[in-house]
A and B are shown apart, each in its own frame.
Chain A
Amino acid sequence: MTIFDRRTLLQGGTAAAATAALTGPAFLEWSKAWAQAAPWKPEKDAQLSILRWKYFVQAEDDKFVALMEAFTKATGVKITISRESYEDVQPKASVAANTGAGPDLFWGLYSLPHLFPQKCVDMTDVADYLGKKYGGWVDSAVKYGKEGNKWICIPICYTGSLMNYRIAASQKAGFSKFPGKTDEFLEYVKAMKKNNTPGGFALGHASGDGNTWIYWCLWAHGGQHVDKNDKVTINSPETEKALNYAKALFENMVPGTASWNDSSNNKAFLGEEIHWTNNGISIYVAANKDASKKHIAEDMNHAYFPVGPVGKPTELHLMFPILAMTHTKYPQACKALIAFMLEADNFNPWIAAAEGYLSHCLTAYDKNPIWTADPKRTPYRDVAKRSLTAGGLGSNGEKAAAAISDFVVLDMFAAFCTGRDDTKTAMKNAERQLQRIYRS
């Protein structure tokens, strides 16, 4: 909806990045050879249409298009690409699943395929093929990818949400290293505020930045919105601890975070109004492209979210799975295309073009030089490995999706932090809403 989103902020000049690969005669030869050898042979006269989320980084989309064209050249399968803002892919896919018409492939967010598992083409063979070839899938990808014993989609990549901070300001506050534990982090936040270099997390209806830090905070303190049987467990002492912790953070953040949407922290960080926040790599990429912001890029770094009392990482990152609809007339072509996308010769230059914005879910791609060429990008290499899934302990289906998109947990935190509700009321309201969403 908003026009000034990450993508616009980034459009400054990502295109020039890596454009050499994925073109040229040698690559075409390779594509043709691949098509010959691949276990999936596209149907005769196959044509595919794919609906994807709208890119954040122009160079990534350019590579994506190049990849599709390469597939067309190698196999003769024509591909039509359409793009929707990532929040709008889900409604469209749901309608297509219900009516049995529409694009063959959908590339969406989080648990999209779990909304209609019986309408997804079985991808087990593709997942096994890729997993075996590229070092296996990370845990969260398996959770998102499988329904029962069957893979109903292929997890393509993640967009990480990690800590972004200014180095000099942090050092001045007495932190040479970004805090790794939640109580240290609170001290850090207080010290930063005292030095007049505060930061902030979005507490408005920000579907990306808001939800990712809120779920981190909840999980870090042992809170869970549901248990493994999808029973609502939000009203708990652990949640209360998480709420109190969030409030302590909130009181030491820059004022106004309750109104922030997904792009507010990007703007504020690049405007040097804030000195720490959670975000994808887009701030860093944007700062690098803009000569007047170069000093920000040089003085900033990324870190994992601090680990809470539960003693292990509790991050939530955005996952982008691709699925083929059972109504497609060309399931073999769909499978071939998906496998083609994730082959090293295609995938490596593609994620390199995304400059760290997209992280892989196949462990072999840890070796991609994009993650080590610039050490500031390295934390984003591991987001898939560290990510938990949107359903928490429970199922990853439409209930989890509804709870996230209706901002139930986020609003619970915001209601308490802004002082509208006390912990009891905030938890009770959230519990009531979750019970409705999770009713059987």
Chain B
Amino acid sequence: MTDVAIENAKPAPRAVTAWEQLKVNRNWLALWFMLPAAAFLILFLAYPLGLGVWLSFTDARIGRSGVFIGLENYDWLSDDPVFWLSVFNTLLYTIVASAVKFAVGLYLALLLNENMPFKAIIRAIVLIPFIVPTVLSAIAFWWIYDAQFSIVSWSLRHLGLIDGNINFLGDFWNARWSTIFANIWRGIPFVAITLLAGLQTVSPSLYEAATIDGASRWQIFRHVTFPLLTPIIAVVMTFSVLFTFTDFQLIWVLTRGGPVNATHLMATLSYQRAIIGGHLGEGAAISTAMIPFLLAAILLSWFGLQRRKWQQGESND
């Protein structure tokens, strides 16, 4: 009897359909929420990237789709001295500019973190190179580096320090250092201001404790500030390296890759070959050849960021 009563009270367990399960599944719902973002990424990032890689395997010209030619473009580039020169230039440009930007940026950030008069105004001024559109600052540098009208040459000449104008952009190494300097000038504010933001998150109590323990200024920097700053350094430097590696406008305005390709970066060479010269396939191959380098830079910081040692400055991983 009791058995029967229980039987009646409990409704027969109905089989739950897969659809019903799906309806309440949070992951399923999340998929839908993610779809617009995914579509956006696929349409505007993955598709152009894929298309670029595909083009690099074809002999496409502007206005004409090419046929698949396998690795011919890469084969040609592999013993193209201009291409290798551009790889060398890009690495030199990126490594030197990023290193200097980091060193000077960190120094500036530490300086700006001190208490000083007109702090807000000085911080704003530091940002100026970053605010000015690249093309404008590149044109300013173009005048600064002009073979005949350079203000630097002019000043030095009037001070009696040099006889002739400095050949800023006409000499291979001068041109490289000049473009690197312009890039550094432009990139420092980004590094400095971001690191400054990081510095301000460091709790003053840590400094107080360190001071009470009798730590010197250097020890405080080395064992308190720097470890706490590492995560943000990793992010900033990743971005800085990516921006520098893919720089285009500065070089294009200043030298167009000249003299004799001495300042061609992979990005500018790719543009010249693909758009100006019309060889889309070859230009795409040069762009595609940049991907491994960029990937390496991203992976380095990605795995670095995963490690607690980097995040917290401790010795355990």
Give the contacts of B130-170 with A (CB-CB under 8 A). 135, 139, 142, 145-149, 164-165, 167-170
| Minimal beta-carbon separation of B105 from chain A (angstroms) | 29
Closest residue of chain B to A426, judged by CB? Answer: B260
Instruction: Give the chain B neighbours of A433 by CB distance below 8 A.
Output: 82
B64 CB–A CB distance under 8 Å: yes
Instruction: Give the chain A neighbours of B171 by CB distance below 8 A.
Output: 258, 418
CA distance A405 to B271 in the complex (A): 12
Instruction: Give the chain A neighbours of B256 by CB distance below 8 A.
Output: 1, 204-205, 261
Q: State which of B139, B145, B146, B168 has its C-beta within 8 Å of the C-beta of A3.
A: B139
A429 CB–B CB distance under 8 Å: yes
Instruction: Give the chain B neighbours of A267 by CB distance below 8 A.
Output: 146, 148-149
Name the residue in B80, B165, B168, B259 with the highest tally of chain A Cβ atoms < 10 Å from its Cβ: B259
CA distance A33 to B311 in the complex (A): 83
B96 CB–A CB distance under 8 Å: no
Asked if B147 and A259 make an inter-chain contact with CB atoms under 8 angstroms apart, the answer reads yes
Instruction: Give the chain B neighbours of A98 by CB distance below 8 A.
Output: 63-65
Instruction: Indicate whether A116 sits within 8 Å of B76 (C-beta atoms), given known contacts A261-B256, A271-B149, A406-B273.
Output: no
A91 CB–B CB distance under 8 Å: yes
CA distance A87 to B61 in the complex (A): 16
CA distance A255 to B163 in the complex (A): 12
Asked if A258 and B170 make an inter-chain contact with CB atoms under 8 angstroms apart, the answer reads yes
The number of residues on chain A lying at the interface, defined by a beta carbon within 8 Å of a beta carbon of chain B, is 47
A94 CB–B CB distance under 8 Å: yes
Closest residue of chain A to B64, judged by CB? Answer: A98
Asked if B148 and A411 make an inter-chain contact with CB atoms under 8 angstroms apart, the answer reads no
The number of residues on chain B lying at the interface, defined by a beta carbon within 8 Å of a beta carbon of chain A, is 42
A273 CB–B CB distance under 8 Å: yes
| Minimal beta-carbon separation of B204 from chain A (angstroms) | 48
A257 CB–B CB distance under 8 Å: yes
Instruction: Give the chain A neighbours of B278 by CB distance below 8 A.
Output: 90-91, 94, 115, 398, 401-402, 405
A167 CB–B CB distance under 8 Å: no
Give the contacts of A249-277 with B (CB-CB under 8 A). 254-261, 264, 267-268, 271, 273-274
Asked if B164 and A259 make an inter-chain contact with CB atoms under 8 angstroms apart, the answer reads no
A10 CB–B CB distance under 8 Å: no
Asked if A204 and B146 make an inter-chain contact with CB atoms under 8 angstroms apart, the answer reads no
Asked if B172 and A406 make an inter-chain contact with CB atoms under 8 angstroms apart, the answer reads no
Asked if A1 and B252 make an inter-chain contact with CB atoms under 8 angstroms apart, the answer reads yes
CA distance A116 to B277 in the complex (A): 15
Instruction: Give the chain B neighbours of A273 by CB distance below 8 A.
Output: 148-149
B231 CB–A CB distance under 8 Å: no
Contact with B along A1-23 (1 / 0, CB 8 A): 11110000000000000000000
Asked if A91 and B63 make an inter-chain contact with CB atoms under 8 angstroms apart, the answer reads yes
Name the residue in A95, A258, A259, A260 with the highest tally of chain B Cβ atoms < 10 Å from its Cβ: A259
A57 CB–B CB distance under 8 Å: no
B261 CB–A CB distance under 8 Å: yes
Asked if B147 and A406 make an inter-chain contact with CB atoms under 8 angstroms apart, the answer reads no
A226 CB–B CB distance under 8 Å: no
Asked if A414 and B64 make an inter-chain contact with CB atoms under 8 angstroms apart, the answer reads no
Asked if B259 and A406 make an inter-chain contact with CB atoms under 8 angstroms apart, the answer reads no
Contact with A along B273-298 (1 / 0, CB 8 A): 10111110000000000000000000
Asked if B149 and A256 make an inter-chain contact with CB atoms under 8 angstroms apart, the answer reads no
Asked if B63 and A97 make an inter-chain contact with CB atoms under 8 angstroms apart, the answer reads yes
Instruction: Give the chain B neighbours of A96 by CB distance below 8 A.
Output: 63
Q: State which of A4, A91, A415 has its C-beta within 8 Å of the C-beta of B275.
A: A91
B62 CB–A CB distance under 8 Å: yes
B189 CB–A CB distance under 8 Å: no
Name the residue in B168, B257, B260 with the highest tally of chain A Cβ atoms < 10 Å from its Cβ: B260
A420 CB–B CB distance under 8 Å: yes
B117 CB–A CB distance under 8 Å: no
Asked if A264 and B146 make an inter-chain contact with CB atoms under 8 angstroms apart, the answer reads yes
Closest residue of chain A to B174, judged by CB? Answer: A259
CA distance A256 to B147 in the complex (A): 5
Name the residue in A2, A256, A406, A415 with the highest tally of chain B Cβ atoms < 10 Å from its Cβ: A256
Could you list 27 A-B pairs, sorted by A, with CB under 8 Å?
A1-B253, A87-B276, A91-B275, A96-B63, A97-B63, A99-B63, A116-B63, A203-B259, A204-B256, A204-B259, A255-B147, A255-B170, A258-B167, A258-B169, A258-B260, A259-B147, A259-B168, A264-B148, A267-B149, A402-B279, A406-B277, A411-B260, A411-B261, A414-B260, A418-B260, A420-B172, A433-B82
Pick the 5 closest A-B CB pairs, nearest first.
A256-B147, A94-B63, A259-B169, A205-B256, A98-B63
Q: What residues make up the interface of B, taking CB atoms closer than 8 Å to A?
A: 61-65, 76, 80-82, 135, 139, 142, 145-149, 164-165, 167-172, 175, 252-253, 255-261, 272-273, 275-279
